[in-house]
Chains A and B, each alone.
Chain A
Amino acid sequence: MLPPLVSPFSRRALRYLNKRFSDRAFAEARRKLAGEVSLSVEPEVDAQSFFALLSAGALRGAASREARAAKEVVKRQVSSRLWLLLEQQGWGERRFNPEALVFLLEDFRILPLSGAGLEVPEADLRLLTALQGESPLYAVPWEELLPALRSRSVSLAEVYLSRGYALLTVKQAISCYAEHIAERCDEFMRSCSTDDPRLEALADALERASLAAAPALSRRAGKALKEECFPPCIRSTLAGVESGSRNYAITVLLTSFLSYARIAPFNAGENARIADFIKDVRILTEEVLPVIYAAAERCSPPLFEDQPLEKLNINYHLGFGLVEEPRLEDSGRSPWYFVPNCEKIRREAPSLCSPDRHCRDVKNPLVYYTRRRYRREE
C-alpha cells in the first residue's frame, strides 16, 4: 500500500490537479481548516482538498489574509503528517532509521548525517545534542534553508554549517521543509485561477479562521506617545545622528516608528493607510512630525540644512506622496513604510543599536514599544 500524501506538491498529489473539486474534497478542506490531521484520507480527496484550500486562499489575492491562512493550514498539515509518519517508523526509539525522513521529503535535498562525509568534532555533536534535546541526524545543503531564511523562521547563525551543509535535527528539518512547502503554496496561489463558485464560502471560512487567530490587540488604536517606553535605537535617533546614518535614522526609522507607534501600533496590516486609523491629521502634524523635525535638527549637520527635500521624503514615507503638507485625502498615494526590523537597523546603522534588557526576544522596535507602553497600563 502506498504511504499517505505528505504535501500537495508531491508528484502523486499533482496528478489530481486541474480536476473539478468534489464535494468530498470541500468537506475534507474544512476538516483540515479545523485542524484535523488524518493519514487515511483517500489520496485524490486529500490532494484536491489541499488545492481547494489554496484556490480559496488565492481568490482575494495571493497576499490576502485568506491566502496566508490557507498557507498556514498546509504548513501545519505537512508538519503534523511528517511527525505522525515518523512516529509510525519508531521515532524516539532505538530502531528509528534516519532514512525514514529522507524518503518522505520529496524535492528536498537531505542526507542522513552519517552518510554526508562531514568531519564534525565529537564535542560539538555532544554539545548540540545536549542543548537541542536531540542529535542532529541530517545534513542539508545550506541553500535548502533559503525559504526558512526568507520567512525568518531560522537564522544561519543558529544552525551548524560545515562544508556547505547545515546539520539539522528532525525538528529543524521538518520546520525547514514546511517553509519550503509554504513557498510553493505562494507560487501556486500567485498563478492559480479557478472559478468554482463554492470557493467563496471556503474563502469566508479562511477569513474567519484568520480573524479568530489574530490577537485581540490588533484592533486597538494607538495612544499618545510615551518617550520613556522608546527602545534604545529610537532614543539614540532622537538625540541626533552623525552624517552617514542621518537619512536612514530620521526618514526611514524614526518616521515609521513614531507614526506607527502613535497611530497604528498593533498589526496595521498590509497596505495600511494613515487615513484608515485617524480622522484628524493634527495627530500627525502636532504630535508626530514636530518630534521628527526636532530630531532632524539635532543631527550633525542638521538634516534639513543641507537636504531640505528630506521633508518631502518624510511625507512620502508616511504614505502621502511627495507633498509639502500631509493631508488625509492624500493618504495612500505612496506606501506607509513599516518600521524596519532590528536586524535591518543593525545593518544600515549599526551605531544606533545598543540593546538593553527589554530588547531580548524583540525583533522590531515597535514591539519593544507596544510591550512596554501597553503592559504598563494593564
Chain B
Amino acid sequence: MIFREATPEERRRYYREEWSLDDVPEFILETLQQREFGFDHRGEGPSDRYNRISTPAQLEGMLIRIAPYAAYSSVSFYSRPERREGWQGAELVFDVDAKDLPLRSCSCAPGEVCGTCLAEAKEYILGVAEVLREDFALEQLHFVYSGRGYHLRVLDEKVLGMQSQERASLLDYVAGGVIPPRELLELRGGYPRVFRLRLLRLLSLLSPGVFRGSGIPRRRVGSLLEPRTLRRVANELEEGSFTLLKETLGSRGFGRFLELIRRLNAEMLDAKVTVDVKRILRLPGSLHSKVSMKCVYIKDVERFDPFRHAVPKFVEERS
C-alpha cells in the first residue's frame, strides 16, 4: 500500500485537505523570497524552475492549486531567485537515501526501502550530526525526512558562504571518505575517531560478498568474519586500537580493507547534494508522490518514525 505512486486525485486531496503551511519550517518561510522554487508536474523531474514566491500565502495558494507531483526549494539564497542570480549563500546539506545505502541489513531489492533500512539511514544521519556538533561546533542543524531517507540541513552562518571545495572537504570528514594517515589512526579524537566510528558501523554489515574484488585473500576475510573475531575487533576499535584487525588481515590486507571502508563510507551520502551550492531540495511538507510519503520537517528526531509521521491520510484510506 505504502510506497505506491500517488494518483493526481490523491495529490489534490493531500494539498487541499492535509497539507498546511505549518508543515513548512520557519527557516524556509523566513527566507521565502530569497529561494528559487521548482516543481515537477508529471513525475518527469523538476522542469518548472526559476520560480520566486513572495509570501507564505502565495506558496499555499500555489500548492493547493497545482498539487504538484513534487515541490522543491533551493538550499541557496539569491537576490534574484527568479533568475538564479545574486547568490548570497547556501545551506550545507547532507543527504542519505535509504535505497542507496551501500550496505543494508535488510533484504530490500535495489531501489526499494523498508523500515529497517530507513532506520539505518536515520541512525547514520544522527551520527553525521554528532560529528558536526562535536568537531565543528555547528548548532543550527535541521532534520527532514525526504520520503526515502533523510536530509540534514545546516544553517549556521559560518557555513553559508562556503563553496563546493570546502563543502567537499567537510563531507569527506563527516563521512569518513578519506583514510587517515596511518600514524594517526589511533588518535582518540579528531578525524581518526570519525573514521573509526564509520568503520564500526559497517563492521556488523560486512559479508563475504562485500570483499569481492577488494584484493584481500578469502582466507583472511573468513577469519575476520568469524563472529568472535568481529566482536573482538569491534571492542578494540572502540578503544582506538587496530591491532587485531591488522593481525587478522595482514599488512597488505589491512591497507586494502581501509580502502574498502573508505569507498563504502564515500557512498553513504549523496555527495552531489552537499557540494552543489545551487541545488533545489524537496520542500518539507510536500508530497513525495513516487512513494506516497510526506517529506517531513522533523522536530524530535529521536522519536520520529516515518511510518507514523510521514504517511498521508489517503494512503491509510487506500483499500
CB <8 Å contact, B266 and A123: no
Task: Give the chain B neighbours of A127 by CB distance below 8 A.
Answer: 183-184, 186-187
CB <8 Å contact, B183 and A149: no
Q: Assess whether B135 is interfacial by the CB under 8 Å rule.
A: yes
Closest to B158 in A: A143
Question: Mind listing 15 A-B residue pairs with CB under 8 Å?
Answer: A121-B188, A123-B188, A124-B188, A146-B162, A156-B169, A156-B172, A160-B187, A160-B191, A163-B137, A167-B190, A346-B177, A347-B171, A347-B266, A350-B263, A354-B259
Q: Mark A121-158, 1 if CB is under 8 A from B, else 0.
A: 10110011001000000000111001001101001111
Q: How far is the CB of B169 from chain A (nearest CB, A)?
A: 5
Say yes or no: A157-B263 contact (C-beta < 8 A), given A127-B186, A146-B166, A150-B166.
Answer: no
CB <8 Å contact, A162 and B190: yes
Closest to A118 in B: B189
Q: Assess whether A351 is interfacial by the CB under 8 Å rule.
A: yes
CB <8 Å contact, A131 and B184: yes
Q: Assess whether B47 is interfacial by the CB under 8 Å rule.
A: no
Task: Give the chain A neighbours of B272 by CB distance below 8 A.
Answer: 347-348
Chain B interface (Cβ within 8 Å of chain A)? 134-138, 158, 162-163, 165-166, 168-173, 177-178, 180-181, 183-184, 186-191, 213, 259, 263, 266-267, 271-272, 275
Apart from A146-B162, A162-B189, A162-B190, list 14 A-B contacts with CB within 8 A.
A120-B189, A127-B187, A157-B169, A157-B172, A157-B191, A161-B135, A161-B136, A161-B190, A347-B171, A347-B266, A347-B275, A350-B266, A351-B263, A355-B259
CB <8 Å contact, A149 and B263: no
Task: Give the chain B neighbours of A86 by CB distance below 8 A.
Answer: none
- Of all A-B residue pairs in the complex, the 5 with the closest CB atoms, nearest first, are A164-B137, A347-B271, A160-B190, A161-B135, A350-B266
Cα-based distance from A149 to B135 in the complex (angstroms): 16
Cα-based distance from A158 to B259 in the complex (angstroms): 17
Q: Assess whether A20 is interfacial by the CB under 8 Å rule.
A: no
CB <8 Å contact, B187 and A346: no
Task: Give the chain B neighbours of A305 by CB distance below 8 A.
Answer: none
CB <8 Å contact, B183 and A131: yes
Q: Assess whether A353 is interfacial by the CB under 8 Å rule.
A: yes
Q: Mark A287-324, 1 if CB is under 8 A from B, else 0.
A: 00000000000000000000000000000000000000
Cα-based distance from A367 to B182 in the complex (angstroms): 24
